[in-house]
Amino acid sequence: MVHTPDDTIVAIASAPGGAARGIIRISGPETLVCVKQCFETTDPLNIRTANSVKGRLTLSGNLPAIEARLYLWPTDKSFTAQPTAEFHTLGSQPLLESAVQSICANNARLAEPGEFTMRAFLAGRIDLPQAEAVLGVINANSKRQLETALHQLSGGLSGPLNELRDRMLNLLADLEAGLDFVDEDIEFVTTEQLAAGLEDAVQQVGQLCKQIESRSDTQQIPRAVLHGRPNVGKSTLWNAIGNDSSKPAIDAIVSDVAGTTRDYLSKAVEIEGLRCELVDTAGVEQARQPTSVDGAAQAMTQAANAGADLVLYCLESTLSLNEWELNYLSHSHTSPVPMIVVLTKIDAASDEDVVELQRSIHCHANATQVIATSTSTRAGIKELCVAIRAQLDSHLSTEGRALASTATRCKDSLRLAEESLSRARELNAVAAGEELVAAELRLALNELGKVAGAVYTDDVLDRIFSRFCIGK
């Protein structure tokens, strides 16, 4: 059976599992008809304005009706631009499923995944990047991912993209007007204006490409790596960060014996609202002759550091800097990866020793942030977590805020648009003819239209909306 936008659809809109409240959503031309057939109320039902009434919702299988509140939205007030209703009732999954079966028996069908959001897109309520952002909000598992999705949902990508398309359309309109009136002594756009407009468009598309490519997957959480020589307290710190201080830290084995960590350990933690990967690496020494095991451990440490978004370089407060550490700190400014120096075990050192060590660090690494900590007393742990969040935010904010789904879909189209605009710029520079420049502009606009959702195919829409859960 072929489904059409004129079907009235229904689905459970609340999350699976038991809850105090469950939601059933209905949308389509026959919404009010469905509601009247399965909802008992003494209040009049109308869908001319947004309103709500109490009543009893009929269940399938001869089960008794249950209390529910009905919310109604007319076409001009609903997300889908169709008459829409929601039943808010008990959050029991079997009850909700029984209610949906009852509604389906009265002129409705079960919605496909993402069908409510697809209808909103087709009605022009949202554009395609915003539709994908709805999925990003649903799937977000940290504050950062939620902020990214909400940024896109509010037009963070659509705004700049649509502004660029508008300017390019104006440029193309002037070009084509000049071609239509080629025999008239009318100049709609000068060569200099065309060159400036094309240059601006190339730069803006390039920026959008970088924004998307820099971090095309927000599910790939940022990585903070603990680094330093053996037995300076990296594993103890790894246990302390992201763990509840009221619970025993048993994640990593800690020992006074140097070299206990011979592999690297990784865990996902929430630090000041940011979900990230925290990696504990094997201690690194300069002069040690590596055995097969030690060599492998240090190789893994280097590999982990290579993928780091932030290095937490650990130094024990009771020890002075050795030659290798001095050299490392002196060259730290050459790395594109930010670093925080973490002084460990300050409860075992005198205040004078800590101050002297901090002075020595700043002499060799001017811009490096130094934070003194003790896992025993948890001194400095909060400050360290705040600093980690700030450094990761700063490092990652330059890498774009595009959602993964949008990045995957948009990357090729933006690149093709950039190539077409670059060719148009070159053709204009050599006076190859406004017809050729206009042709390249049309190609670029077509690709940007695919990104914005102004140009789309059914298979693209099916791929995007099929990832949604039913009821969204």
For residue 209, is it within any domain?
Answer: yes
Locate 363 and state its tokens: 């002499």
The mean pLDDT value for 408-436 works out to 85
Whether residues 82 and 33 fall in one domain: yes
Q: What is the pLDDT of residue 412?
A: 76
Whether residues 280 and 392 fall in one domain: yes
Domain boundary among 397, 426, 443: 397
Rg (CA), the chain: 30
Residue 33 banded pLDDT, cuts 50, 70, 90: very high
For residue 306, is it within any domain?
Answer: yes
Whether residues 198 and 279 fall in one domain: no
pLDDT digits (tens, 9 = 90+) for 431-462: 888 889 999 999 998 888 877 666 545 655 66
> Which secondary-structure segment (H or E) carries 343?
strand 339-344
Q: What is the pLDDT of residue 155?
A: 59
Q: What is the pLDDT of residue 255?
A: 45
CATH of the domain at 33: 3.30.1360.120
Locate 285 and state its tokens: 């020494």
26 bridge partner residues: 10, 85
For residue 116, is it within any domain?
Answer: no
- Report H helices in 69-142: 93-104, 115-122, 128-139
pLDDT beyond 90 at 39:
yes
**Other CB atoms within 10 A of residue 69 CB:** 15
The mean pLDDT value for 379-386 works out to 93
The mean pLDDT value for 242-252 works out to 46
Whether residues 234 and 211 fall in one domain: no
pLDDT beyond 70 at 222:
yes
Contact (Cβ atoms closer than 8 angstroms) between residue 308 and residue 255: no
When the pLDDT of each residue in the chain is averaged and rounded to a whole number, the result is 79
Whether residues 245 and 367 fall in one domain: yes
Q: What is the pLDDT of residue 220?
A: 60
Q: What is the pLDDT of residue 248?
A: 41
Range in 157-166, 221-230, 297-306, 377-386 the model is least confident about: 297-306
pLDDT beyond 50 at 247:
no
Locate 105 and state its tokens: 């028996």
Coil, helix or strand at residue 66: strand
C-alpha neighbours within 13 Å on the C-beta side of residue 155: 6
Whether residues 368 and 453 fall in one domain: no
pLDDT beyond 70 at 469:
no
User: Regarding predicted confidence, which is higher, 404 or 223?
Assistant: 223
Burial of residue 43 (number of CB atoms within 10 Å: 0-12, 13-18, 19+): exposed
For residue 127, is it within any domain?
Answer: no
Whether residues 197 and 337 fall in one domain: no
Q: What is the pLDDT of residue 108?
A: 92
pLDDT beyond 80 at 3:
no
CA distances from 273 to 86, 310, 389, 404 (A): 32, 17, 8, 20
> Which secondary-structure segment (H or E) carries 89?
strand 84-89
Q: What is the pLDDT of residue 80?
A: 92
CA distances from 357 to 315, 326, 344, 454 (A): 9, 11, 11, 60
For residue 33, is it within any domain?
Answer: yes
Locate 127 and state its tokens: 């554009």
Locate 141 and state its tokens: 């598992």
pLDDT beyond 50 at 44:
yes
pLDDT digits (tens, 9 = 90+) for 105-115: 988 999 988 88
User: Regarding predicted confidence, which is higher, 400 or 88?
Assistant: 88
Domain boundary among 366, 382, 397: 397
Beta strands (DSSP E) in 4-149 are: 9-12, 22-27, 39-40, 51-57, 66-73, 84-89, 109-110
Residue 99 banded pLDDT, cuts 50, 70, 90: very high
Number of structural domains, the chain? 3
Whether residues 235 and 376 fall in one domain: yes
Whether residues 389 and 409 fall in one domain: no
Whether residues 263 and 355 fall in one domain: yes
Whether residues 161 and 301 fall in one domain: no
How far is 272 from 274, CA to CA, in rounded Å? 6
Residue 249 banded pLDDT, cuts 50, 70, 90: very low
Q: What is the pLDDT of residue 143?
A: 60
For residue 4, is it within any domain?
Answer: no
Residue span of the structural domain in which 21 resides: 9-111
Domain boundary among 378, 397, 416: 397
CATH of the domain at 247: 3.40.50.300
Range in 38-42, 78-82, 392-396 the model is least confident about: 392-396
For the chain, percent of residues with pLDDT exceeding 90: 28
For residue 133, is it within any domain?
Answer: no
The mean pLDDT value for 272-283 works out to 83
Whether residues 259 and 316 fall in one domain: yes
pLDDT beyond 60 at 398:
no
pLDDT digits (tens, 9 = 90+) for 303-325: 445 567 888 999 999 888 888 88
For residue 122, is it within any domain?
Answer: no
Q: What is the pLDDT of residue 172?
A: 86
379 bridge partner residues: 374
CA dihedral of residues 389, 394, 395, 398 (deg, nearest 10): 140
Burial of residue 3 (number of CB atoms within 10 Å: 0-12, 13-18, 19+): exposed
User: Regarding predicted confidence, which is higher, 251 or 427?
Assistant: 427
Q: What is the pLDDT of residue 184?
A: 66
Locate 155 and state its tokens: 């037009």
